[in-house]
Amino acid sequence: MADGELIVKGGYVVDPTRKIDGEVADIAMKDGKIVDKVSSSAKVIDAKGKVVMAGGVDVHSHVAGPKVNAGRLMRPEDKLLSGTCRSGMAQKNGYRMESGFSIPSVFRTGYEYGRMGYSFVMEAAMPPLLAPHTHEEIHDTPIIDEAALPVFGNNWFVMEYLQKGEVENTAAYIAWLLKVTKGYGIKVVNPGGTAAWAWGLNCLNLNDNVPYFEITPAEIIRGLIEANEYLGLPHSMHLHQNDLGNPGNYKGTIDALKIAEGIKAKNKFGREQVMHSTHLQFHAYGGTTWADFNSKAKEVMDYVNKQKNITIDLGCVTLDETTTMTADGPFEHHLHGLNHLKWTNVDVELETAAGIVPFVYDPQSKVCDIQWAVGLELALFAKDMNRTFITTDHPNAGPFTRYPRVIKWLMSKKAREATLGSFKHKDKVIEATNIHGIDRELSLFEIAQMTRSGPAQCLGLKNVYGGLAPGMSAEVAVYDLNYKNMPSDPEKIEAAFQRAACFIKSGEIVVKDGEVVSNGHKKTVWVNVKMPENPQVTRDVTQAFTKGTYTMNLINYPVREYLAPHPYVIDVDVEA
């Protein structure tokens, strides 16, 4: 590689950040950054007749940490579905062994994201006490840059401050915790409900009382949005709502979204939303029981479409056997009561909980099929694709390796109809959903918005990832698709997105012809909030340790530097 120079030549560039839609252009890179031009000695990658996009950005995926690993540990059978084994060449070249389907090993996670042309992945829930574990997994994951969102929605300190209306103290606590856990932003999972779960209870309603803490989920959500904007973090409050997965939950969903009304984003990162509502598919259900279960995707998206300060991701059901895992502990217990498969639970002192249950989204089950339709409908009803992101809430609704399949369904009515036609209860599914009547097919530009520019902006990373403008990180994916002549067979769309023809990560070729050729140089991204020390918070935190409410010593709580090698630290200054 001449002076670290690279040029991707002659491809159809799709870059929503610069409103480029299919123009033939060259993308030049030097020293890990995209540049205007390079010298003639630059290494040339021929992308003629292929689509060129920025590296993918995943806003929400459970890829590293204690509950992910508990899932790996409890499910040896998941390894049977691994698919591709390490090839002879990979062995010879020393690529690490890969394993796992719905909860792949760290090596497989990095390699699979790489093969799909993804640059950045947000680990969606990190229990602060167990943060060193999450970082150990992150640094063992090749290729992709990663960050992790610590969970705050059931944290004792947060609930106590917010109960007293102390947003400033909440913010100071958040700032401290982000620093010591090397976290990225504020994740909220079933606010209040998971705290109630410590006593075996739950909060299904926004106005339920959280036992002992005398606060409601709605108050926690509002308080954390305010704290987030007080700090001006790159990402917004990232919400997994209450009452996940139950028939008729869409009303509560819209009520929770309404909490964001009238609040303005305040930050220096170009982020416009104040709430990211994640895996909305699980929260857009109508009906009263599983018998009259139906899609309310339209109702939910009608609200989202007109409310500009909200972003969402889909959480598409992919009709696979998978492993559900969430910090929504009471939900997993409930789910286990439905399918009676094995159940793992991890309650974490003062902070959060997690549950894990394997789940089979059986195409022969009407309910699963309706869930499948709801996920896709959300995208098809969306008006602003820069606020609507593709996820499968990996591995909850399906593994991330199915993103190409989701893209196929979104881009092709033919593919949707083929899947719909394969259902045993096709007629009932059509009756309970809107999908059969939707003709919309998304364009490559819209897919790039949903997987690149949109999530990057939502995460406050739009100057680094998600686009191909000079100055941005050199993340370039080349897909074997002819923009001018898209294949009539939708399977070819899936195949192209599954294995990138070429993927350049931070200016280095890591995937060629769908095969990993380098382990890359991954980074750990975290947010360092600089604000004056808050004596009240310092005292409260110290006491929780010295009085032994925590069973760990405070000195051993912060994640040590060496566990997050190659940090990419985003500084946020908060004025006193």
Partner 1 sequence: MPKLIKGVGCPYCGSSCDDIEVLVSDDETKILEVHNACIIGTNLFHHANDATRPKLPRMRQPDGSMKEIPYDEAIDWMAKTMLKAKKPLIYGFGSTNCEGMSAVGRIAEKSGAVLDNCATICHGPSFLAIFDNGYPSCTLGEAKNRADVVVFWGCNPMHAHPRHTSRYSIFPRGYFTQKGQMQRTVLCIDPRETDTAKLADHHLMLDQGHDYELFDAFRTVLRGFEIPETVAGIPREKIKESVEIMKKAKFCMIFFGMGCTHTDGRNHNIDHAISLTRDLNNHTKCSIMAMRGHYNIAGPGQVWSWQFGFPYCIDLSKGSHAHMNPGETSSVDLAMRDEVDCFVNVGTDAGAHFPIQAVQHLKKHPFITIDPNFCMASEIADLHIPVRIAGVDEPGVVYRMDNVPIQFRAVIKGLPGVPSDEELFDRVYERMCELTNTQPIWLAAKEHRKYPHNPVVS
For 235, residues 6+ apart whose C-beta sits below 8 A from its C-beta are 149, 184, 185, 186, 271, 276, 458, 459, 460
Continuous segment of H or E residues that includes residue 525:
strand 524-530
CA–CA gap between residue 29 and residue 472 (Å, rounded): 10
Q: How far is the CB of 472 from partner 1 (least distance, A)?
A: 21
Return the DSSP state at 500: -
- Site residues for partner 1, 373-412, by CB under 8 A, read none
Q: Could you count the other beta carbons within 10 Å of the beta carbon of residue 340?
A: 9
Among 242, 294, 498, 519, binds partner 1 (CB under 8 A): 519
User: Min. distance of Cβ 302 from partner 1 in angstroms?
Assistant: 39
Query: Between residue 198 and residue 217, which ones bind partner 1 under the rule CB under 8 A?
Result: 198-200
CA–CA separation, 322 vs 119, rounded Å?
24
CB of 374 to partner 1, least distance (A): 28
Residue 347 makes contact with partner 1 by CB under 8 A? yes
- What part of residues 114-153 is at the interface with partner 1 (CB under 8 A)? 129-130, 132-133, 136-137, 139-142
Which residues from 176-195 bind partner 1, rule CB under 8 A? none
Query: How many CA atoms within 13 Å lie on the side-chain side of 84?
Result: 19
Which region among 97-105, 312-320, 385-393, 480-488 touches partner 1 (by CB under 8 A)?
97-105
Of 546, 523, 478, 575, whose CA–CA distance to 27 is shortest? 478
Distance CA 275, CA 6 (A): 38
- Binding of partner 1 at residue 99 (CB under 8 A)? yes
Q: Helices 66-74 and 131-140, interaxial angle, to 10°? A: 70
Residues whose CB is less than 8 angstroms from the CB of residue 300 and which lie 6 or more positions away in sequence, other chains included? 250, 253, 254, 257, 280, 283, 284, 378
What 3-state DSSP class applies to 175? helix
Shortest distance in whole angstroms from residue 566 CB to partner 1: 5
Q: Work out whether 505 is an interface residue with partner 1 (CB under 8 A).
A: no
Residue nearer to partner 1 on the CB measure, 82 or 443: 82
Q: Which is nearer to partner 1, 162 or 357 (CB)?
A: 357
Task: Return the number of other C-beta atoms located less than 10 Å from residue 346's C-beta.
Answer: 17
Q: Are 401 and 102 in contact (CB under 8 A)?
A: no
Rounded to whole angstroms, the Cα distance separating 92 from 233 reads: 44
On whether the CB atoms of residues 111 and 519 are closer than 8 A, the answer is no
Asked if 333 interacts with partner 1 (CB under 8 A), we say yes
Stretch that binds partner 1, among 180-188, 341-349, 381-389, 526-534 (CB under 8 A): 341-349
DSSP label at 565? Answer: -
85 or 471: CB nearest partner 1? 85
* Segment contacting partner 1 by CB under 8 A, of 83-91, 282-290, 296-304, 442-450: 83-91
Residues 49-68 that bind partner 1 (CB under 8 A): 64, 66, 68
Encoded one letter per residue, x for contact with partner 1 by CB under 8 A and - for no contact, window 228-267 reads: ----------------------------------------
Please report how close the Cβ of residue 545 comes to partner 1 at its closest, in angstroms: 9
Question: By CB under 8 A, what part of segment 355-374 binds partner 1?
Answer: 356-357
Q: Does residue 343 interact with partner 1 by CB under 8 A?
A: yes
Taking the complex as a whole, the smallest distance from the CB of residue 164 to partner 1 amounts, in Å, to: 18
Q: Which tokens hold the place of 220?
A: 């926690």
The least CB distance from residue 109 to partner 1, in Å, is: 9
DSSP element (H, E) containing 156: helix 156-163
Of the candidate residues 93, 443, 463, 482, the single one contacting partner 1 (CB under 8 A): 93
Residue 24 makes CB contacts below 8 A (sequence gap 6+) with 10, 11, 12, 13
**Residues 8-47, buried b or exposed e (16+ Cβ, 10 A)?**
bbbbbbbbbbeebbbeebbbbbbebbbbeebeeebeebeb
* Minimum gap (Å) between residue 518 Cβ and partner 1: 10
Of 538-557, binders to partner 1 (CB under 8 A) are: 548-556
Binder of partner 1 out of 37, 41, 76, 431 (CB under 8 A): 76
Task: Please identify, using beta-carbon distances, which residue of 11 and 358 lies nearer to partner 1.
Answer: 358
The minimum distance between CB 536 and partner 1, in angstroms, equals 19
By the rule CB under 8 A, 73 interacts with partner 1: yes
Q: Binding string to partner 1 for residues 286 to 315, with x set by CB under 8 A, is what?
A: ------------------------------
